[in-house]
Amino acid sequence: MARSTLGRRIARGLSVSLLVVGAVVGLLWALQRRLVYFPDGAPVPPAAEVIPGARDVELHTTDGLHLGAWFVPAARADEPGTAVLLAPGNGGNRAGRSTLARALSRRGLAVLLMDYRGYGGNPGSPSEQGLADDADAAARALEDLGYPAERTIYLGESLGTGVVAALLARRPPAGVVLRSPFTELADVGAHHYPWLPVRALLRDRFEVVGPLSSSDVPVSVVYGDRDSVVPSRLSAQVATGAPRLAEELVLPGADHNDPVMFGPRVADVVARLAERVS
């Protein structure tokens, strides 16, 4: 009798544990995009108030959204040369990338600072497909401004590396710069949540190595060796897997969002690649 009672208690305990685990997994499935995207949805000021000479542009997505962006012309160029499409990471908005945009402009590069849907006062909610549509709209806008893909460098930072990796398969650019890239988003999730079945749960995949492996576009990779968000080993794997690696720059002591990641050293990598492919 005692054994029967013990058996029932064990069975009830297992049932409760399974229900709790199931509830947690279900909650994470439903809310996972809140763990991936951290948009600053506040409206941003006019471009010229932040970057002298910059102007506001509007991106038009195929699913009917109108997204705000900034175009920063090259500080020293008599005619259109090379442009940079800057696909940001998963937080903030374009105002936080103004320092990098100015640094790129001073190096003779035009810049399109895009914000995804849900960021920087833009309508919509972010998702992998949504960000892909946004990047396509940004590439079309640059083409209308006189910079077709073959005269454009895609610069992706963190989550944006997944965005531009997918974009290069659809619209091959002159070159790609990946700042703090990961192999795929699931690898980052598995690192931070090793106790969860991340690969089974994750809806937005953002693969980077896969698209790069079938591309002959020159690629430069920049990352810090103290990255607490994207493990440095994943960025190193991206560099190793790029068939046409132009440059790999490891910034000693740098974490994911340190100021150096938005400053002149990253701009120099972009400028070197632009000179190489021009």
Report pLDDT digits (tens) over 164-207.
999 999 999 999 999 999 999 999 989 988 887 878 788 889 99
Question: Do 242 and 170 share a structural domain?
Answer: yes
Q: What domain count does the chain have?
A: 2
87: region left, alpha or beta (phi > 0 left; psi from -120 to 50 alpha): beta
Question: Do 114 and 28 share a structural domain?
Answer: no
Phi, psi (deg, nearest 5) at residue 195: -90, 0
pLDDT range class, residue 40, cuts 50, 70, 90: confident
Question: Do 155 and 196 share a structural domain?
Answer: yes
* 3-state helix/strand/coil string of the chain: CHHHHHHHHHHHHHHHHHHHHHHHHHHHHHHHHHHHCEECCCCCCCHHHHCCCCEEEEEECCCCCEEEEEEECCCCCCCCCCEEEEECCCEECHHHHHHHHHHHHHCCCEEEEECCCCCCCCCCCCCHHHHHHHHHHHHHHHHHCCCCHHHEEEEEECHHHHHHHHHHHHCCCCEEEEECCCCEHHHHHHHHCCCCCHHHHCCCCCECHHHHHCCCCCEEEEEECCCCCCCHHHHHHHHHHCCCEEEEEEECCCCCCCHHHHCHHHHHHHHHHHHHHC
**Is 80 exceeded by the pLDDT of residue 36?**
yes
Are residues 159 and 92 in contact, defined by beta-carbon separation less than 8 angstroms? no
Concatenating the DSSP letter of every residue in 200-211 gives: HH-S---BSHHH
Question: Do 155 and 226 share a structural domain?
Answer: yes
Question: Do 157 and 208 share a structural domain?
Answer: yes
Question: Do 83 and 32 share a structural domain?
Answer: no
31 or 204, higher pLDDT: 204
Question: Do 92 and 5 share a structural domain?
Answer: no
Q: What percent of the chain has pLDDT over 90?
A: 77
**Residue 111, domain extent:** 39-277
CA–CA dist 46, 69 (Å, integer)? 10
pLDDT score of 79: 61
The helix (run of H) or strand (run of E) holding residue 14 is: helix 2-36
CA–CA dist 19, 254 (Å, integer)? 42
Span 215-267, pLDDT tens digits: 999 999 999 999 999 999 999 999 999 999 999 999 999 999 999 999 999 99
Question: Do 241 and 212 share a structural domain?
Answer: yes
- Mean pLDDT value across the chain: 89
Question: Do 114 and 150 share a structural domain?
Answer: yes
CATH number of the structural domain spanning residue 91: 3.40.50.1820
Question: Do 46 and 6 share a structural domain?
Answer: no
Half-sphere exposure of 78 (CA within 13 A, CB side): 0
Question: Do 273 and 182 share a structural domain?
Answer: yes
CA–CA dist 117, 261 (Å, integer)? 23
CA–CA dist 164, 166 (Å, integer)? 5
pLDDT score of 84: 98
Question: Do 202 and 77 share a structural domain?
Answer: yes
Residue 104: name the closest of 85, 120, 89, 79 by CA.
85
